[in-house]
Amino acid sequence: MRFFSLITALALTAGIASAATPNEQIEQARVVLDDAQHELDANAAGIDGRWGMSAMLKTRLKAARAQLDAGDDPEAILRLAELDAALIDQLANQAYVTLGAIRGASPALLPAIGPQKRPYVLAVYVPPAAVAKSAPLIFFLHGKGQNEADVIATPVVRSLADSTGSIVVAPYAGGDDMLTDANIADLYQALDAIENSMRIDRRRVYLAGDSLGGFAAFKALARSPDRWAATLVIEGAVAETDSEAVAGRVRGKSIYLVAGANDQSVTATYVRQLASWLRTHGAIITYYEQPDAIHTLQSVAPAASKAWQDMLAGIRPTSATQDAAPVLPAPRPSQPS
């Protein structure tokens, strides 16, 4: 299956996904995954020769099938299958998407990022409201065990992008190794490429991360805080090894923190302590806690949605709210979740 015919098919699927029943979405996802597997098998040697990525892609398809079999959100799995299939098709046919031409959801490949000039995988969502103007950018870092496609496949992320007219770009960023100094440096090179290729309002470039991506967001923020209009951290905190750097670079920076009341991985108590600690170092903190929520983006979605909207609207806490928060010991997280 050639690139443009696959993209057309995926666009048609995306157009009817919201009207399809869950069972229909499951069957659509199986068809997309089957076609993607066939295309990958037929082109694995060429993909490895150019990019060395066939093993990673096989793992992705297997993981998507496992999620489908486990009964996860059929719409999200269909979107995930479409993105993985489109990435495989681009690699197989060497017909790569241009960032500035993306409409809707698409994978993209930056060909030479980092000192070793390696390929860099992105997933991008450009909502209709962002097509004809310079739009806000949300640079969103994924959680542990996920990848860039998981972010763009998430219905709440796409819905928020639609409602706020925001472009969302999610980098693969080394997968679960995104906390390395080298991967954080690569993030900024990727950001440069995005800003130079897309219609971005450079006054409104935001950094966001969920879970492990939240830990990475703090590390990235400390490296170059002035690149970001604000930062949104969902279910994340500051790694112990980054606490000194973060403490010294967050003064005057707007940070929106989201926690789940029943999160056992990064507890709400812990995130409240983090908020207080960040305030002592001059950060402008707005805190959101979702009642009964556990450690998943879906669970904290109402609070995360409010934080996202407030961030883009420039809503900040009053000075009185800032001063009223108790000062607690600095948190020292050591294991990102």
pTM: 0.89
- Cα 144 off chain centre by: 11
Task: Please state which of the ranges 164-168, 289-293, 297-301, 326-330 shows the lowest mean pLDDT.
Answer: 326-330
Residue 71, domain extent = 1-95
Mean pLDDT value across the chain:
89
> 69-79, pLDDT tens digit by residue?
998 899 999 99
User: Tokens standing for 316?
Assistant: 């900040």
Amino acid identity for residue 59 in this structure: T
Q: What is the pLDDT of residue 112?
A: 85
pLDDT (0 to 100) of residue 18: 55
- The number of helix segments (H) and strand segments (E) in the chain equals 12, 8
| Number of compact structural domains in the chain | 2
| pLDDT at residue 328 greater than cutoff 50 | no
**Average pLDDT in the 332-337 region?**
44
- Asked if residue 155 and residue 28 are part of one domain, the reply reads no
Q: What is the pLDDT of residues 196-252, one digit of tens each?
A: 999 999 999 999 999 999 999 999 999 999 999 999 999 999 999 999 999 999 999
Residue 110 sits in the same domain as residue 52: no
- Looking at residue 116, its pLDDT comes to 82
Tell whether 74 and 103 lie within a shared domain. Answer: no
Per-residue pLDDT tens digits for 83-104: 999 999 999 999 999 999 999 9
DSSP string, 208-262: EEETHHHHHHHHHHHH-GGG-SEEEEES----GGGHHHHHTT-TT-EEEEEEETT
The residues, any chain, with a CB within 8 Å of residue 292's CB and separated by 6 or more, are 260, 261, 262, 299
Distance, in Å, from the CA atom of 308 to the CA atom of 174, rounded to the nearest integer, reads 25
Q: Which two tokens stand for residue 2?
A: 């050639």
Residues 158-164: what's their mean pLDDT?
97
Domain co-membership, 298 together with 332: yes
CATH of the domain at 281: 3.40.50.1820
- Would you say 220 and 187 are in contact if contact means Cβ atoms under 8 Å apart? yes
pLDDT at 191 over 90: yes
Residues 181 and 313 in one domain: yes
CB 255 within 8 A of CB 230: yes
Taking only the tens place, the pLDDT of each residue in 281-323 is: 999 999 999 999 999 999 999 999 999 999 999 998 865 344 3
Whether residues 86 and 132 fall in one domain: no
* pLDDT band, very low/low/confident/very high, at 329 (cuts 50, 70, 90): very low
223 plus 173 within the same structural domain: yes
- Look-up of token digits 């420039």: 314
- Dist. CA 260–CA 240, nearest whole Å: 21
Report, as an integer, the average pLDDT of 173-177.
Answer: 94
Residue whose token pair is 């996202």: 308
Single residue among 95, 129, 149 that ends a domain in this structure: 95
Do 262 and 163 sit in the same domain of this protein?
yes
Least confident window among 17-31, 112-126, 213-227: 17-31
Model confidence at 144: pLDDT above 90 = yes
Structure confidence at residue 318 (pLDDT)? 63
Give yes or no: residues 10 and 73 share one domain.
Answer: yes
Q: What is the pLDDT of residue 320?
A: 39
The backbone torsions φ and ψ at residue 109, rounded to the nearest 5 degrees and listed phi first, read -130, 120
Does residue 245 share a domain with residue 119?
yes
Statement to judge: residues 152 and 282 lie in one domain: yes
Write down which residue in 95, 119, 139 finishes a domain: 95
Work out the number of other CB atoms within 10 angstroms of the CB of residue 10.
22
297 is written with which tokens?
Answer: 């983006």
120-144 mean pLDDT: 96
Whether residues 112 and 59 fall in one domain: no
Q: What is the pLDDT of residue 119?
A: 86
Q: Is the pLDDT of residue 278 over 80?
A: yes
Tell me how crowded residue 265 is: count the other CB atoms within 10 A of its CB: 17
d(CA 27, CA 49): 33
Q: What is the pLDDT of residue 228?
A: 98
CA distance 294 to 265: 9
Mean of pLDDT values over 182-186: 96
